[in-house]
Chain A
Amino acid sequence: MAKYCELFVTFFKIGTFTIGGGYAMIPLIQREVVGRRHWLSDTEMLDAIALSQTMPGILAANIAAIVGQRLRGVKGALVAVLGNILMPILFIILIAALFSRFKDIPAVQHIFMGIRPAVVALIAAPVFNLARKAGVTLRTVWIPLLAALLIWLLGISPVLVILIALAAGWTYSKLIDKTAKENGPNQLNLKL
């Protein structure tokens, strides 16, 4: 029981005191889980982060689930995740209830006129960061471009685009498996 409390409190703290989500949370999670509590070793933590980035879902919640599962199985995972998201959910509900009363005040309108272009910039900037991290080259740049155009211009659902990407990746992998078996899997270049 004490372990569940510890798990809950640790991830409650992490969820409450980080603004900006996943990548902002990682250093704090590492400090708490590896440094202070010694629940996971450094390598296990890096594995947990790598897996969380691979799996669908929210990075921070995924890491919380892996750590919780490691310590106390499925129940531990649930406790850690709930601890992580409790405060953010309560906080947003409070803000949402308050904001609906203030949003028609002219001053608030003006503030948000200034904020909206900033929001677009904050979503556009990660596009370039992610492109650099994913190692986009002239040979692969058509993939994000095509995805963006399909969604933005043709109004195709992003869910469908992801499904196509999954199917295409799988098919491509099967094709190169046949043609280039002697290569190690990590030397393969993507060119659908």
Chain B
Amino acid sequence: MILFELFYTFLIIGLFTFGGGYSMIALIQSAVVDHHAWLTTQEFADILAISQITPGPVGINTATYAGYSAVIAEGYPTVVAVAGAVVASLAVLILPLTLILIVGRWLLKHKDQAPFDTIFKGLRLTVIGLIAAAALSLVPTAFSPTPTGTVTIFNLQLSIFNVIIFAAVFFLSLRKKASPILLILLSGLVGFLIY
């Protein structure tokens, strides 16, 4: 049954999410796109876009949306998909919250001591790689040829406009700290106008 599979999948994702929403995105992508093939990379990219411009934590939004879409992709009706959305969102929270409630106070005292200081520093560094891998695996979808302005570099067919959008958003987000909502809405407008 899809709901049990969703529950188990997102339970594990919650336990291994260190360092916030973006590492959860990497884990959800790996499970939902690569492992279970419930969604295509393109569908997942669109889910991410919507999750970043709607209220709430990006991790929860992505879990809710991925849960919903996975059930639809398996051919179940909308009612089951709504259940899937709720199951995925709650499953992702269960283990982290249990841990916080049980060992939270104790860990607060010990997190800066051995071996936890080293473990957490190592995890922080590892998670950066996780997020980078998630971004890299979205590249083919994001730069795939568009109706106008396709360029061939070596053997790769790239959409020149999308490379420009990427560069602009990357710069504005990293250097100017521009709001993700604004950047996504502007990129959508650009897409609407040029394609």
Contact = CB atoms under 8 A, between A and B. Distances in A.
B123 A114 contact: no
Contact of A158 (B68, B115, B133): B133
Nearest to A52: B100
Chain B interface secondary structure, helix, strand, loop or mixed?
A: helix
Given A115-B188, A143-B125, A169-B119, A122 B52 contact: yes
Contacts, number: 384
A47 to B, nearest CB: 6
Nearest to A77: B101
A17 B111 CA distance: 32
Interface in B120-175: 120-139, 141-143, 146, 159, 161-163, 165-170, 173-174
Contacts of A95: 50, 54, 65
B57 to A, nearest CB: 4
Contact of A118 (B14, B124, B169): B169
B80 interface: no
Nearest to B64: A92
Contacts of B108: 47, 50-51
A161 B16 CA distance: 10
Given A111-B188, A165-B122, A118 B60 contact: no
A19 B181 contact: yes
B113 A185 contact: yes
Interface in A100-144: 100, 103, 107, 109-131, 134, 136, 140, 143-144
B102 to A, nearest CB: 10
Given A51-B107, A77-B97, A88-B61, A127 B115 contact: no
A145 B129 contact: yes
Interface in B40-88: 42, 45-46, 48-61, 64-65, 68-69, 72, 78, 81-82, 85-86
A71 interface: no
Contacts of A5: none
A117 B97 CA distance: 34
Contacts of B115: 169-170, 173-174, 177
A19 to B, nearest CB: 5
Contact of B187 (A62, A85, A118, A162): A118
Contact of B57 (A25, A50, A77): A25
Contact of B24 (A58, A118, A165, A188): A58
13 contacts: A21-B58, A25-B57, A51-B108, A52-B100, A62-B100, A69-B104, A112-B49, A113-B159, A122-B52, A151-B133, A161-B126, A161-B130, A163-B16
- 6 closest A-B pairs by beta carbon, nearest first, are A114-B191, A88-B56, A57-B96, A147-B129, A173-B115, A169-B122
Given A117-B143, A122-B180, A190-B122, 20 more contacts: A16-B56, A54-B111, A54-B120, A56-B17, A92-B50, A95-B65, A120-B135, A120-B138, A125-B170, A126-B22, A127-B132, A130-B127, A147-B128, A158-B23, A158-B26, A162-B18, A162-B123, A165-B125, A185-B112, A186-B112
